[in-house]
Each structure stands twice: as C-alpha cells, then as structure tokens.
Amino acid sequence: MAESGHPGDIARDDAPSFTSKDSSERGEAAPNGESSVSGVAVTINRPARELYAYWRDFGNLATFMLNVEAIEVRDRDRSHWTVSGPNGSYEWDAIVTEDVDGERIGWRAENSDVPNSGWVSFHEAAPGRGTVVTAMIAYSPPAGILGKLVAKVTQREPAIQARRDLRRFKQLMETGEIATTTPPNREPKS
Amino acid sequence: MRALTWHGKHDVRVDSVPDPEIINPRDAIIKITSTAICGSDLHLYDGYIPTMQAGDILGHEFMGEVVETGPKSTLQKGQRVVVPFVIACGSCYHCSKQQYSGCDNGNPADNQDIAQELWGQVAPGLFGYSHMTGGYPGGQAEYVRVPFSDVGPIVIPDGIDDDKVLFLSDILPTGWMAAENADIEDGDIVAVWGCGPVGLFAIQSALLMGAHRVIAIDHFPHRLALAKGLGAEVLNFEETDIYDALMTMTGGIGPDAVIDSVGLESHGLFVDNIVDQIKASTFLGTDRPHALRQAIVACRKGGRVSVPGVYGGMIDKFPFGALMEKGLTLKTGQTHVQRYLPGLLAAIMEGKIDTTFLISDRMALEDAPKGYKKFHDEQNVCTKVVLKPDWAKAAATGEA
C-alpha cells in the first residue's frame, strides 16, 4: 500500500494497447495472434444506436467500404466477404464473435487466406458531441512483411482502408452521401 | 463545355472538357456568369502546389445561375447564387459550430491522408485547388458541380451586378474574418501587412468595425494608393523602416492589432520543402515569414495577431518569445465563408461595402491564360481579373 498522498507508479497508461510503441504489447491486442494490429477512431455526429444498427446489417457495409466487392449475409452471425487486395480478390466467412447491442460488434474470419479479426465499438462522446466509433483490425498479411508493403504501396493495406472506410461511414451517416468527384460511370481520377 | 485547365508551370489552357453532372443528392450544377482569378491561383500557376494533375479545372471564386439540382438540393433552377470556395457539409460538429473551413466531410476520404499526415487532422474540400483538397473541378468554366448546394451557395436578388457580389465567394469574407479575428476595440490602431485583395478588404472591414486608424504596409505604389483610398495611412517597406515608423505613429505603444495578409496570400497548401523552394524563388522576392515576425514584434503588449495569410508547412525563427512575453493573442484559419454571407450580402445591398474598386481587368473566359499572365507579371496594376464565360461565346459567334 502506498503512503498516503503518494500513489505508486502506474503499471500501464490508459491508451489502447494498439497504440503502444512496444510491439509485444501491441500484439496482445490481436485476438487470434495475428501479426499486424491497428486501430482507428472517428467521432460521428449521430446517436450510437443508429450507427450500430446500420453497421450490424452487414449488407450495408459495402456502401462505404471501397475495397469490398461483395458481402453476402448468410445468417445473423455469418456473412461471406469478397475483398479486392493487391494480388486479386480474397474471400472469407466473417463470424460474429461478440455482439453487445448498441455498443460493440466483434468478428473473426474463417476459411480465409488472410487470417483476420477485429471489433468495432460505438460509445457516446460528451453530451452533444455524437458517438466515438473505434475499429480494431488484426490480420496476418499473406506474404508476411513483404505482402504488407505491397498492400501499402497499392493503398490496399487494411489499416489504410479502415481509416478511409471510417471517414466514408462518417460522411454517409452525417450528410447522407459520400464525398466524391467521380461520376458513377467513370473511372476514379483522384 | 469550355474550361480553364492546368497543365503545368505557367501552362494553363482553355480546353473543351465534359460537362459536369449531378453525382450526389445534394449537388447542383451552376452555369457560371462571373469567375475571378485569385492570388492563390498564381501558386498553382507557378507550379508550387503538390497533388495537381494535368487537366484539372481551376477556379474557386465564382457565381452563376442554377441550371440543375439533385433531389436533396434546396436551390431552384434559375436562381442566381454565389458559391463559397470551402465545400462544407453543414452537419458535422465543426459545421454546427460554424467552423465551416474545418468541415470533416467535404473532402473525399482517399484525399484526406495528406493533410492528416501533415497537419494532424483532415483538410476541407475546396474547388479547383489540387487533389489534396478534394480534386473538385473549379469554376473557371462554363459550368460547375456544387456539392452540398443546400448549405453553401447564397441566393442573390435580381437587379444587383455580378461584380458587386462575386467576392463573397472568398476574398471579402476572408478580409472580414481577418478584421474580426483582430477583436477591434474603440480607439484601436490596426496595422495590416499586405495590400492584396485580402489585405484591402481587411482594411475596409477594420474601419467598418470601428478601428480608429488603420496603417497599411506594402511596396506596390498602386496597391498602397488603393489602401489610402479606403482610408488607411500607408507605409512602403522599401522606403521606410517599418518597426520605427509604427512605433512612432502609435506613440511608442505599437499597434493594438496586427494583420498578416501576406502569408502565401490565400489557401496555399504547402509542404515545408515546397515552402523552402518558394522562399528561395524570386517570385516572392522576400522572406515571407518576415511579415509575420515583424507584425508580432511591432504589436503592443496584450495585443492581437490575426493571420489570414496562408502558411502550409514550417517556418523558421518564429518569435514565440515575443508572443508569450507580451501576452499576445493569435487567431488564424481558412475562412468560414458560409458564416459571413448573409451579413456581408446585406452590407453590400445597403451600400456599406463596395468591392468593385478592386477589379482591374474584365475579360472573356477564352482569354483566361492572358489573364493569368497579366495577374502574374503586373502585380502593381493588375489587382483582380474577372472572367466572363458568356463573353467568349458572344465573341465566337460574332455577336459581341
């Protein structure tokens, strides 16, 4: 017990483990021992229950996840994903591992060339400030570190995509549309 | 349609390009009636802005007539509108605080990474100003697509000339916000560095807000004459020691508020290595942060520093000690254009603000490359170029 008025040293700060400078501590955030872990948060000016409800209907996710080619919802806890990567398409079944109504959804991929899992959480920010949406994604790149590099160069690295997808989710939820300069019938320019 | 497109350093052309189309529900298409070349367009012209692509349509100061609306636009066909250069959604936290230039949602998600890396947070979308700010085609064209048209454009009553209201799109609210950020009090002496369009409008605004005296600093004789015409006392930094003059003219106190409208003039988005190139170039001639340093050192104790001039990267030898020891307040930022439009339109309608004195050249859109060259080469006399898309058509069909 510390002396009165003198708290002992803290063992660990309050930051999410995926922001740690220590790779082993960072790795502890990987639910299934994946090699790469990253997280991103965005604040959205809408109620948590509305954001959760939109996300929980997995068929909606392809609207703002740009690299997702298709999501087939098989049942409430299982969906089949087709995602474009640096070397063609990847497929897996996403299984819901955790579901706290209005707050948090966790998943794990099965039958996948790219082992991955993660969670997304929805927490009310300060009154009047909307909802903090945090996503954690853990994955093992197909060709290890080199594969991750290739993915980064081609802008298809999951952490980069997650950051951009969350921005698009925010745009869609706050404004009803996704900002773009590309007419639907033309190839992207920007 | 015809549009002014960027192809590289000192290479802008009027090309035929596809007409814009409605993409999102809140979009509108505007037929441009007047569009101006901004000082910040010269930075594109000089090739200093990264993330430009050949064929990009320039222009962020424009107005015109609504010709097409998306299902969620609140505009009506036939309305005349001036469009803010900042593309703001109206529904994010920043927009709800009227901090429109901080809008989270105007810039396509894939274009937001650069600003996030450089400045820590994402940048707003802008018209015609590189892909870092969205890659949106600009308004130096016959038509333009306006996203979030239910939030940005202000409807202009019939019977008032384009030239009187065009600058609501950017430089008038920018000058106004610069003066507002100076928190002017009765009896104040305000010093303004730079008598370009923003500086001149800041002078005009400061006097309207009750400044006792305004002292304007530049080196172009014609621009100083325009400042004097607005009611400012003027200093030419090539002839006069600015610190000594300001201290004398303020009775040894220093100006109560200082406004740096030099910066890189407007909306420049520069990474630090690009800034270094600019500092070394003869185009800018002087060491740009010099104006900001001089302003901070001259400012009286407890005074205010307002910076509408644009900085994009790092600056060296920033006199932070003077800022801290004198207890100065620093306010800056890209303009929250949408916030000021109703008030400024009313002031124009009531005749309290006239901005037409600034326009030195009016020409056809087809002649825009000549306009860029003149604005670039003749800064003393060429203070503002306004382009008229319909003049081109009239000339082309021999009806002019």
Q: Is the pLDDT of residue A36 over 70?
A: yes
Phi and psi torsions of B366, nearest 5°? -60, -25
Q: Which domains does chain A have, with CATH numbers?
A: 31-175 (3.30.530.20)
Query: According to the model, what pLDDT value does residue B288 have?
Result: 56
Query: Closest approach of chain A CAs to the CA of B46, in angstroms?
Result: 21
Partner residues linked to B154 by β-bridges = B82
**pLDDT tens track for B153-175:** 999 999 999 999 999 999 999 99
Class of domain B171-332: alpha beta
Q: What is the mean pLDDT of residues A165-172?
A: 97
**pLDDT tens track for B133-146:** 999 999 999 999 99
Query: Closest approach of chain B CAs to the CA of A37, in angstroms?
Result: 19
One fold for B2-170+336-396 and B171-332: no
Expressed in angstroms, the distance from the first to the final Cα of chain B is 19
- Name the residue ranges covered by the structural domains of chain B: 2-170+336-396, 171-332
Query: According to the model, what pLDDT value does residue A35 have?
Result: 85
Which residues of chain A does B132 touch, with a Cβ-Cβ cutoff of 8 Å? none
Query: Closest approach of chain A CAs to the CA of B135, in angstroms?
Result: 6
Q: Is A156 part of the contact surface with chain B (CB cutoff 8 Å)?
A: no
Closest Cα in chain A to B150: A175
Closest among B138, B258, B116, B111 to B199, alpha carbons compared: B258
B105 and A170: CB-CB below 8 Å?
yes
Q: Is the pLDDT of residue B147 over 60?
A: yes
Of A43, A167, A183, Cβ closest to residue B21: A183
**pLDDT tens track for B240-297:** 999 999 999 999 999 999 999 987 543 333 444 445 444 444 444 334 578 898 999 9
Bigger pLDDT: B394 vs B240: B240
Query: According to the model, what pLDDT value does residue B172 have?
Result: 98
Query: According to the model, what pLDDT value does residue B16 have?
Result: 97
A and B: number of Cβ contacts within 8 A: 81
Percentage of chain B beyond pLDDT 70 is 92
Query: According to the model, what pLDDT value does residue B266 have?
Result: 33
Bigger pLDDT: B346 vs A84: B346
- Domain B2-170+336-396 matching CATH 3.90.180.10: the answer reads yes
Closest among B334, B362, B372 to B39, alpha carbons compared: B372
Query: According to the model, what pLDDT value does residue B397 have?
Result: 46
Query: According to the model, what pLDDT value does residue B280 have?
Result: 45
Percentage of chain B beyond pLDDT 90 is 80
B25 and A176: CB-CB below 8 Å?
yes
Q: What is the mean pLDDT of residues B122-130?
A: 93
Sheet holding B233-236, edge to edge: B233-236, B213-218, B189-193, B257-260, B304-307, B329-332
Query: According to the model, what pLDDT value does residue B268 have?
Result: 34
> Alpha-carbon dihedral of residues A62, A68, A74, A75, nearest 10 degrees?
-50
**pLDDT tens track for B366-387:** 999 999 999 999 989 999 999 9
B105 and A171: CB-CB below 8 Å?
yes
Query: According to the model, what pLDDT value does residue A4 have?
Result: 63
Q: Is the pLDDT of residue A189 over 70?
A: no
Query: Closest approach of chain B CAs to the CA of A167, in angstroms?
Result: 6
**pLDDT tens track for B311-369:** 777 777 789 999 999 999 999 999 999 999 999 999 999 999 999 999 999 999 999 99
Of B24, B53, B92, Cβ closest to residue A177: B24
Q: Which residues of B touch A (CB under 8 A)?
A: 21, 23-26, 53, 72, 87, 89-93, 96, 104-113, 122, 125, 131, 134-137, 147-148
Distance in angstroms (rounded) separating the CA atoms of residues B164 and B344: 11
Expressed in angstroms, the distance from the first to the final Cα of chain A is 59
Helix, strand, or coil (residue B37): strand
Query: According to the model, what pLDDT value does residue A160 have?
Result: 87
Query: According to the model, what pLDDT value does residue A186 have?
Result: 53
| Stretch 114-133 of chain A: residues touching chain B, C-beta under 8 Å | 129-130
Bigger pLDDT: B283 vs B70: B70
Q: Which of A145-154, B66-75, B196-205, B292-301 has the lowest mean pLDDT?
A: A145-154
Which residues of chain B does A155 touch, with a Cβ-Cβ cutoff of 8 Å? 110
